[in-house]
Structure formats: structure tokens, C-alpha cells
């Protein structure tokens, strides 16, 4: 890593550079980027083995691993026994959702849902403001849908942040991720914070289950596919969960005492290798993003692959290439705002198949006021987007492959995935699936499926499972 930044420093254009040297420097700079973003099979395997090592360590002692391996207290149960009316909340990214589900013998009969955009003041204000916003949104949902109940209905709460659970309905936030900084939540009992806000507004709901979005996604799929082994989120943040034998969770006697039962473990893989960066393919831009994030030193893996950071990585590369004369100078002087390049535009540029890359030209001109008249530059811009996405997809596939190896599931298994990065980024799925095979082997025969809105539905299903005796 150090070597790459040294090369990049050395490549700064000098006044006396000949035309030939300039062109050579440009090519070397691009090649340096490519060699960090396009990972060999060997490199992917090395990372995967280290991830498996960290999984083992995290199951026995969290303080000795960059993977927390958090028990969800969701045990494998037969979903066909679940019936009734359940509610679900989904908090974790840019939006917040409220859902009502009718389940009969493990089948979702019908549902209703509403989506609310989380205002900045709730993401960065106080606990009362955040939970007040959540409870007000539930009330609005019930008013809009004309829902009235005489008794309390069970509610599942998907809370997609690292949470130390002590039971299915008890847990506290370890640390915020993905740009949230709300005060007064860390270390507090989340179920109580939510229940209090609900009770204060006279809403007849009882919080019976708390879960991570990865767990919600896995369980949502499990109701229709009993071979579901992993739940994965590749969106604003990134993470996965999988079924582990309870007896292997040696750090927690309450869990390990359940022996051969299977429990869903929330890996919190976004933090993988954050402490020492032993294996991650870091670019200088990653360090810059980390330094300016609200949680420097943490979630370094997530910062390389997720939607929340993708636009910023691309912007920083554009600016660097522009300063070094590889891309037009107007980029460095215009794209100056931190986090000022939308991750969705990275996908749009990547999907530009118009001859001359005129969609790329229009996006940059109309939205960012950057005019790129030369077609070759527009191709280069597209290539930068591809490199960043390539690394993200390979790293995601590596993490899924490592988890499959640890779970001992290389065939007849389903990986349920949700999140905008997976769903909407061109080329992503193909590169990711190739990386899974690089890690697991060509015989790998698992199905990766999109589990749309899994985190929301899953909370309702988990609430239902929690009521089974
Ligand atoms: C972040 C959170 C994690 C969540 C993931 C996907 O990594 O820490 O809990 O599952 O984002 O939303």
C-alpha cells in the first residue's frame, strides 16, 4: 500500500516532463489503480482464509477479532408453524419502513408497508428525536391505513447497526455506522427506547424481537426456501449473517449451551481487518475517506465496498487523476465538495452504453457542471467507475465465499441478498459470483438471489418465530 502512494507521489507531473514521459506517467498511474482494484484469485483466497480465521476468533472472544460475530438469538425453526398478524420496523439506511404482515402457516398472505425518509435531524440529533420520529411514523402509517386494534400486536424491529443482543428482545447499540451519530443511544436498551416512544403515543404494539437487517433478510427467504444459509446486505452498508452451531459460540455460555442447535450469527463483516489492514487492498483514497468519517479506524472493509462511500472514492480518484494531468483539469477545480459525488451516478456511468459515452457527458455536465468534450476522457471516467465497482464486487464475493467455507455449505444452498449496490450496480453480480467461485472452488453450486425488502419482512417473520413455543 505504502508502495502505491509512493509511486503516485512520484508520478506528479513536473514542468520539465517530455511528452513521452507524461504519457508514460499517465499509463503507470492507471496501471497502479488497476493492480489494486483487480484482485487475483490468489489474493482473494488469502483474504478469505484470514476472514475465516477472524470468524473463529470472534466466536470465542470478540476482543481478539475484527469480526464481532454477534449472536442474534434467532434459532433455526420450522417456519410453517408461524401464523398471525405481525408488525415490523426497518431502520438502517436512508429510509425507514413500517410494515404490517398477515402470516398463515409460514406463508405471507398479505402485507401493507410505508416508507419514510429519515430526516438529518433524526440521524444526528438525540435519542428522543430518533425514537420519536420512528413512533410518529408508525402512528402516521396506522392513520393512513386506517388501522385500529383493541389489543397490543407483536412487533419486530430491524435495527441495522452493530448490536450486542442478550436475547431476542433485548440488545444495545455497540457503535453507530453509516453516518448515524444520534446521541444517547449507544449502550442503551434499544427495545426499551422504542417501547417507551410507542407507549408515550398510545400505540398498541409490543416489541417482541430485535434483529439485524442481514438476519431479517435470511429469515425472510427461509420462509419460502429452507436451504437459505446466508443473509447478506450490499447497500448503504455491507454485512452478512449465517447459521452456526450454537456450541461453537464459545464466548457465550447461554448460546453454547444449546449444543447442536443452529443460531444465526451477525458477522458485522464491515469491520473486517480494520485494525491492522493486513490483507485489504487499500488505496490512498480509502485512508482519506476513513480519516474524515465519523468512525475513523472502523468499518474499513465496508468503506471499500458500500454505497455510502462509493461516490466519494470515485470523486477522489477523479480529482487525483485530474491533478496529475490524466483527466481534464476542470475536474479537480469543480468536484471539490467532500461526498459531493452521488454513488448512484457511478452506476449510471457504468451502465452508459451510448456510443461516445454521451450519458456520462450529460451526467457530468448537467449535474456537476463539468464539461468533458473528449470521448477518450469519458471512457477513462467510465473505467475508473468500473475499477471501484470491480474491487467492491470482488471483496463482497470474497466475504460470501469465506462465509460459505466456514459454514461448510458449498452446494444446495441459497444466499439471500438485499441492497442497492447488489441490485442496481451494472456488472456487480457477475464479478461477485466469479469471486465466490475463486474462493470456494469451481464446484461451488450456491444460488445468490435478490431478497427484496428482506430486512423489513424478516423482522415480521422473526417476531412470528419468537412467539413459537
Ligand atoms: C453496517 C451495520 C450492520 C448492517 C450493515 C448493512 O455495516 O453495522 O449492522 O448489517 O451496515 O446495513
pLDDT digits (tens, 9 = 90+) for 261-316: 999 999 999 999 999 999 999 999 999 999 999 899 999 999 999 999 999 999 99
> How many whole angstroms separate alpha carbon 184 and alpha carbon 162?
16
Q: Which of 178, 118, 213, 422 is nearest to 308 (CA)?
A: 178
> How many whole angstroms separate alpha carbon 429 and alpha carbon 184?
39
Q: Tell me, using a 6 A CB cutoff, whether residue 178 lines ligand 1.
A: yes
Cβ-contact 358, 381 below 8 angstroms: no
Atom 1 in ligand 1: which residue has the minimum CA distance? 237
What is the reported pLDDT for 117?
92
Q: Is 213 assigned a catalytic role? A: yes
Q: Tell me, using a 6 A CB cutoff, whether residue 195 lines ligand 1.
A: no
Q: Of the residues 238, 392, 419, which should be mutated to test ligand 1's pocket, given the most ligand atoms within 8 Å of the CB? A: 238
Going from the Cα of 237 to the center of ligand 1, the distance in angstroms, rounded, reads 5
Atom 3 in ligand 1: which residue has the minimum CA distance? 161
Q: Tell me, using a 6 A CB cutoff, whether residue 217 lines ligand 1.
A: no
Q: Tell me, using a 6 A CB cutoff, whether residue 214 lines ligand 1.
A: yes
Q: Are strands 163-167 and 228-234 parallel, antiparallel or unpaired?
A: unpaired
* Catalytic annotation, pick one of 65, 90, 97, 352: 97
- Calculate helix-pair angle for 307-323, 343-350, nearest 10 degrees: 70
* Catalytic annotation, pick one of 90, 213, 342, 377: 213
Going from the Cα of 345 to the center of ligand 1, the distance in angstroms, rounded, reads 22
Q: What is the pLDDT of residues 123-147, one digit of tens each?
A: 999 999 999 999 999 999 999 999 9
Kindly give the number of the ligand 1 atom that is closest to the alpha carbon of 92: 12
> How many whole angstroms separate alpha carbon 74 and alpha carbon 422?
25
Q: Tell me, using a 6 A CB cutoff, whether residue 455 lines ligand 1.
A: no
Going from the Cα of 238 to the center of ligand 1, the distance in angstroms, rounded, reads 6
Going from the Cα of 266 to the center of ligand 1, the distance in angstroms, rounded, reads 9
Atom 9 in ligand 1: which residue has the minimum CA distance? 161
Q: Tell me, using a 6 A CB cutoff, whether residue 312 lines ligand 1.
A: no
Cell numbers given for 398: 470474497
Q: Is 97 assigned a catalytic role? A: yes
* Catalytic annotation, pick one of 72, 160, 343, 438: 160
Q: Which of 314, 302, 394 is nearest to 347 (CA)?
A: 314
CA dihedral 221, 226, 227, 228 (to 10 degrees): 30
Cβ neighbors of 459 (< 8 A, separation 6 or more) are: 88, 89, 90, 99, 156, 157, 158, 209, 211, 216
Q: Tell me, using a 6 A CB cutoff, whether residue 274 lines ligand 1.
A: no
Q: Of the residues 302, 304, 305, which should be mutated to test ligand 1's pocket, given the most ligand atoms within 8 Å of the CB? A: 302
Q: Are strands 262-266 and 70-75 parallel, antiparallel or unpaired?
A: antiparallel
Q: Which of 423, 27, 42, 447 is nearest to 226 (CA)?
A: 447
> How many whole angstroms separate alpha carbon 332 and alpha carbon 184?
39
> How many whole angstroms separate alpha carbon 170 and alpha carbon 228?
25
Going from the Cα of 6 to the center of ligand 1, the distance in angstroms, rounded, reads 33
Q: Is 342 assigned a catalytic role? A: no
Q: pLDDT tens digits, the chain, 469 residues: what are they?
A: 445 556 666 767 778 888 898 888 888 888 989 999 999 999 999 999 999 999 999 999 999 999 999 999 999 999 999 999 999 999 987 789 999 999 999 999 999 999 999 999 999 999 999 999 999 999 999 999 999 989 999 999 999 999 999 999 999 999 998 889 999 999 999 999 999 999 999 999 999 999 999 999 999 999 999 999 999 999 999 999 999 999 999 999 999 999 999 999 999 999 999 999 999 999 999 999 999 998 999 999 999 999 999 999 999 999 999 998 899 999 999 999 999 999 999 999 999 999 999 999 999 999 999 999 999 999 999 999 999 999 999 999 999 999 999 999 999 999 999 999 999 999 999 999 999 999 999 999 999 999 998 999 999 999 999 998 7
Q: Tell me, using a 6 A CB cutoff, whether residue 239 lines ligand 1.
A: yes
Q: Of the residues 118, 172, 185, 233, which should be mutated to test ligand 1's pocket, given the most ligand atoms within 8 Å of the CB? A: 233
What is the reported pLDDT for 1?
46
Amino acid at each position: 500500500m505504502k508502495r502505491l502512494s509512493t509511486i503516485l507521489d512520484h508520478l506528479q507531473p513536473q514542468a520539465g516532463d517530455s511528452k513521452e514521459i507524461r504519457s508514460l506517467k499517465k499509463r503507470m498511474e492507471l496501471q497502479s489503480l488497476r493492480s489494486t482494484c483487480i484482485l487475483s484469485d490468489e489474493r482473494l483466497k488469502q483474504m478469505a482464509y484470514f476472514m475465516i480465521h477472524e470468524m473463529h476468533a470472534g466466536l470465542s472472544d470478540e476482543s481478539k477479532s475484527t469480526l464481532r460475530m454477534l449472536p442474534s438469538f434467532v434459532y433455526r425453526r420450522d417456519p410453517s408453524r408461524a401464523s398471525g398478524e405481525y408488525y415490523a420496523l426497518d431502520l438502517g439506511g436512508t429510509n425507514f419502513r413500517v410494515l404490517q404482515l398477515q402470516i398463515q402457516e409460514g406463508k405471507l398472505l398479505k402485507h401493507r408497508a410505508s416508507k419514510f425518509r429519515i430526516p438529518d435531524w433524526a440521524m444526528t440529533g438525540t435519542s428522543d428525536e430518533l425514537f420519536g420520529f420512528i413512533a410518529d411514523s408508525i402512528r402516521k402509517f396506522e392513520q393512513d391505513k386506517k388501522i385500529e386494534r383493541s389489543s397490543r400486536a407483536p412487533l419486530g424491529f430491524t435495527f441495522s447497526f452493530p448490536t450486542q443482543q442478550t436475547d431476542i428482545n433485548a440488545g444495545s447499540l455497540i457503535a453507530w455506522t453509516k453516518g448515524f451519530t444520534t446521541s444517547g443511544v449507544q449502550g442503551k436498551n434499544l427495545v426499551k427506547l422504542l417501547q417507551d416512544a410507542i407507549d408515550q403515543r398510545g400505540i398498541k404494539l409490543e416489541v417482541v424481537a430485535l434483529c439485524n437487517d442481514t438476519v431479517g433478510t435470511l429469515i425472510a427467504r427461509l420462509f419460502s426456501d429452507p436451504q437459505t444459509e446466508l443473509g447478506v446486505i450490499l447497500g448503504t452498508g455491507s454485512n452478512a449473517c449465517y447459521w452456526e452451531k450454537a456450541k461453537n459460540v464459545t464466548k457465550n455460555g447461554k448460546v453454547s449451551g444449546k449444543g447442536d442447535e443452529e443460531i444465526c450469527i451477525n458477522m458485522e463483516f464491515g469491520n473486517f481487518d480494520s485494525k491492522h489492514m493486513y490483507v485489504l487492498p487499500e488505496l490512498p483514497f480509502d485512508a482519506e475517506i476513513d480519516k474524515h468519517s465519523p468512525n475513523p479506524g472502523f468499518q474499513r472493509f465496508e468503506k471499500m465496498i458500500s454505497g455510502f462511500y462509493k461516490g466519494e472514492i470515485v470523486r477522489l480518484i477523479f480529482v487525483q487523476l485530474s491533478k496529475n494531468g490524466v483527466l481534464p483539469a476542470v475536474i479537480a477545480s469543480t468536484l471539490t465538495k467532500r461526498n459531493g459525488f452521488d454513488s448512484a451516478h457511478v452506476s449510471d456511468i457504468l451502465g452508459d452504453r451510448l456510443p461516445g459515452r454521451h450519458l456520462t457527458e450529460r451526467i457530468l455536465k448537467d449535474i456537476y457542471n463539468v464539461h468533458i468534450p473528449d470521448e477518450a476522457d469519458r471512457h477513462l471516467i467510465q473505467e475508473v467507475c468500473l475499477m471501484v465497482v470491480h474491487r467492491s464486487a470482488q471483496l463482497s464475493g470474497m466475504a460470501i465465499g469465506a462465509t460459505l467455507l466456514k459454514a461448510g455449505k458449498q452446494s444446495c444452498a441459497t444466499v439471500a441478498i438485499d441492497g442497492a449496490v447488489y441490485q442496481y450496480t451494472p456488472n456487480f453480480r457477475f464479478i461477485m459470483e466469479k469471486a465466490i467461485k475463486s474462493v470456494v472452488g469451481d464446484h461451488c453450486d450456491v444460488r445468490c438471489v435478490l431478497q427484496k425488502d428482506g430486512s423489513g419482512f424478516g423482522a415480521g417473520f422473526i417476531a412470528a418465530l419468537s412467539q413459537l413455543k
